[in-house]
């Protein structure tokens, strides 16, 4: 099924045609992957709640994050991340 056919089928399903076949993806068995990586949200250094990325500066290779729980803000450079995870 190409992209055009998948979009048409999705549109029909949204319009109530439930017998239209969906994509062949088993979303029930899919598990989220939480691998650490530079540029991804990391745990808050203060309370360990998962942070939220505010911005990624690719030129300076830094990630700015904040904690949605305690409000702590921190910056993690790629060099620091590599040193912490190697």
Q: Which two tokens stand for residue 81?
A: 């991340």
The distance of closest approach from Cβ of residue 51 to Zn ion in the complex, given in angstroms and rounded to an integer, is 7
Q: Which two tokens stand for residue 84?
A: 């912490």
CB 47 within 8 Å of CB 69: yes
Residue 22 or 43: the one with the smaller Cβ distance to Zn ion is 43
Site size toward Zn ion (CB under 5 A) is: 8
Interface of this chain with Zn ion, residues 13 to 72, rule: CB under 5 A: 44, 46-47, 49, 67, 69-70, 72
CA distance 32 to 51: 17
Interacting residues with Zn ion (CB under 5 A)? 44, 46-47, 49, 67, 69-70, 72
């Amino acid at each position: 099924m190409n992209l055009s056919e998948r979009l048409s089928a999705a549109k029909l399903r949204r319009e109530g045609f439930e017998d239209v076949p969906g994509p062949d993806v088993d979303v029930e068995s899919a598990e989220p992957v939480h691998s650490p990586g530079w540029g991804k949200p990391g745990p808050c250094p203060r309370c360990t709640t998962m942070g939220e990325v505010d911005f990624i500066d690719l030129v300076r290779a830094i990630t700015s994050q904040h904690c949605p729980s305690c409000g702590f803000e921190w910056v993690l450079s790629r060099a620091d991340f590599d040193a912490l995870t190697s």
